[in-house]
Amino acid sequence: MLCSICSDTSERQPSEDGHLLEKAFELWFSIRLTADLPCLGGDETLGMEPVSVDDGSPMAGKIPLPAVTMQQIDAALMEEVLPQLRKGVMDGFRELMCNPKSWMTVYLISFMLLHSCSMLTRKHDEARKHQSPACTALEDLRKLHTSAQVILAYYHHRSDSFNPFEHASSSSRNRNHQPDKCLTEDDKRFLERTKELLQQRAAHINMIGNDGRRGEDLYFVGQMFDDFWRRTEDAR
């Protein structure tokens, strides 16, 4: 559903916004390739055996890529692909924050960037658990979490005059609840569905937030929907 909305938003937004959204999606997908552990399917196993079901890893029972292949993919992404995408997306994202007509694009990019922060944190946690050299340096991890806090601060500032997720109990904040004229009917249906999912997962979001489980998919994303969001400590 998110992919469909991203595609639709990209097509109808001004060329600069649409191009930025496409780049953000490319960045999100590239980070998934580095953060998730790829596995093989089909008959060809490249000489690899399935991971033990007793391993406790998300890869349990699956056939991983050979270590050399994974290192080559990571090197290409980390050294060639991600730096260019990251710079282009973040430079454009800062400019987009000043555009009052781009709330939906800001929302989608914020969502993807924050989800990426959780994916990279989870990769670090898994690597540390298995004492892998892929474990992220603590200082780099702090920078990642600081970036997530900055993105949240930008998003909440941008949404101060319009927030379709705001709870009725927050009306005292004197926000402008007039519908954003730039939202299409598809956008509104998407946001309504998001509200329903938020209500269903509210307890889980509160739990991982209270526990500080930054590697969970909804840890940073969930803070986008906090009516009274405040910056938290970045260090782990």
DSSP 3-state of 187? helix
From first CA to last CA, the distance across the chain in angstroms is 33
Q: What is the percent of the chain where pLDDT is above 90?
A: 20
Higher pLDDT, 36 or 88: 88
Helix (H), strand (E), coil (C) string for 63-110: EECCHHHHHHHHHHHHHHHHHHHHHHHHHHHHHHCCCCCCHHHHHHHH
pLDDT in tens, 198-211: 889 999 999 999 99
Mean pLDDT score of the chain, rounded to an integer?
78
d(CA 221, CA 116): 10
What pLDDT band is residue 72 in, cutting at 50, 70 and 90? Answer: confident
Higher pLDDT, 60 or 143: 143
Side-chain half-sphere exposure of 155, counting CA atoms within 13 A = 32
d(CA 184, CA 142): 38
Higher pLDDT, 209 or 164: 209
Would you say 63 and 45 are in contact if contact means Cβ atoms under 8 Å apart? yes
**Is the pLDDT confidence value at 156 over 70?**
yes
pLDDT in tens, 23-46: 999 999 888 877 776 777 777 777
**Hey, which residues does 63 pair with through a beta bridge?**
40
Q: Across the chain, which distance is largest between two alpha carbons, in Å?
A: 63
DSSP 3-state of 40? strand
